[in-house]
Amino acid sequence: MDNVRSFAECCEIWDNEGADSLSDLELVLLVKARKLQAYSLETMMDKLRAVAVRRELISQLSSNPAVLSLPYEHLDYDELRGACCENVIGYAQIPVGVAGPLTVNGQPFFVPMATTEGALVASTNRGCKALRDGVKVVVKDSGMTRAPAVEFPSIAQANVFCDWFANLNNLDLLRREVESESRHTKLISVTPTQEGRHVFLRFQATTGDAMGMNMLSKGVERCLIYLQCEFPSMKIITISGNMCTDKKPSAINWILGRGKKVIAEAEVSKQDVQSVLKTNVPDLVELNKVKNLIGSQMAGSIGGCNAHAANIVTAVFIATGQDPAQVVESSNCLTNVEVTEEGNLRITCTLPCLEVGTLGGGTGLPAQKAALKMLNVQGSTCEEMSSENNVLSNAQQLAAIIGATVVAGELSLLASLQSGDLVRSHLRLNRSAPSNVRGDQNSC
């Protein structure tokens, strides 16, 4: 700190010459004195340097230099600002593994999975090997949802308001408001639900290749302005009243869907069940019934009738730049396992609310963009392909690949549970790093 000039000198230099004539420590001095705002440093200087200054600031304010060990170089910070993260101090390193090849609707893919859970990629890869005949997947675009909450002076007025939505002409009026925000947003329905003087409006719309929550939210804002003109006594409580439902488990998503509804099916020969999965068909069927169906119901689980769909969904979400918090509902899955007439195994996974996009948000970051390109789904679907019947859009194809990968993950984990290999494989692949062993043996 001996080489840091006085606050007055630094202020004068900043005003006349800017950041280039000041050291990082002097810039920290100006931030601590509130001459500069820490959150807006990127607008005043080179973005990499702004991150370095903010790291030094946090180190001093917290009296903890640990932040300086967080990696921060070799990242394109132009891609972050205004899109992905604020007050940036670095980035977390998450290894990306690959599972595959996995054939989805006749097309082979190598699926990128970002995870720190040892054995997950290896297990999913084993599932891909067992699925040598591929996975058939159908995808339905349920649409993104947003559900504002409004209030009326009386239940009678709230009831009249709900009746207004039964007129299809009124839906067309709202459709124009929503679609004026984006030509890619297509309103499907608006469903009112009354509770006392409150009404929750569940808007549902397709949003092209974007996950679409922000797109729909802008359209819903326009609709609320229009509705307030039609119903002056209406009070807007919030644009999101939790009947959407976003980033929370809910029966409404499980039943009505949100984003993409994915149904994936595969058949595995009894020979492959024995040679690859090291178990047999009848035992897998019984295990799935007791664990995924009966056990999940005993727990009162919503959307949890599966072995570990969230593991696969999360790993692909992080690799491809999806919103990880939406794993809460996107991993809702029912896994069903049956014996075919030939004695083979049939497995189906149904995910009713898989929320994905191939543009916007984290999908624009270099690493995540590369992962999407690995799957040939990066960006918007080209006009020629989108006009063809039975051709999945990029976002639908990504959903199909995730659904198929969930099948591989479910199949392999169920087999590990049945054969008793789960603990052994985790001890082998998830506990071998010396850094996992703390010096303080009494900490366990």
The set of catalytic residues is: 117, 247, 323, 426
Question: C-alpha angle 414/416/421, rounded to 5°?
Answer: 160
For residues 317 and 368, what is the distance between their CA atoms, to the nearest angstrom? 9
- List the structure tokens of 32: 């601590």
Q: Considering only the C-alpha atoms of the chain, give the largest distance between any 2 of them, rounded to a whole number of Å.
A: 85
Other CB atoms within a 10 A radius of the CB of residue 262 amount to: 28
Other CB atoms within a 10 A radius of the CB of residue 86 amount to: 10
Where are the alpha helices (H) located in 153-231, listed in sequence order? 155-164, 168-179, 213-230
For residues 149 and 405, what is the distance between their CA atoms, to the nearest angstrom? 37
For residues 286 and 418, what is the distance between their CA atoms, to the nearest angstrom? 10
- List the structure tokens of 236: 């807007």
For residues 160 and 162, what is the distance between their CA atoms, to the nearest angstrom? 5
Where are the alpha helices (H) located in 344-432, listed in sequence order? 366-374, 383-386, 394-419, 422-430
Closest Cα partner for 246 from 259, 262, 231?
A: 259
Matching residue, tokens 């797109």: 215
- List the structure tokens of 191: 């469903």
For residues 177 and 11, what is the distance between their CA atoms, to the nearest angstrom? 49
Q: Tell me if 127 sits within 8 A of 409, measured CB to CB.
A: yes
- Tell me the C-alpha to C-alpha distance, in Å, between residue 193 and each of 126, 143, 224, 399: 46, 19, 16, 30
Closest Cα partner for 335 from 398, 417, 259?
A: 417
Where are the alpha helices (H) located in 33-109, listed in sequence order? 47-62
SS3 of the chain: helix, strand, coil, percent, to 5: 50, 20, 35
- List the structure tokens of 351: 């995910």
- Tell me the C-alpha to C-alpha distance, in Å, between residue 329 and each of 216, 273, 387: 18, 30, 30
For residues 417 and 269, what is the distance between their CA atoms, to the nearest angstrom? 19
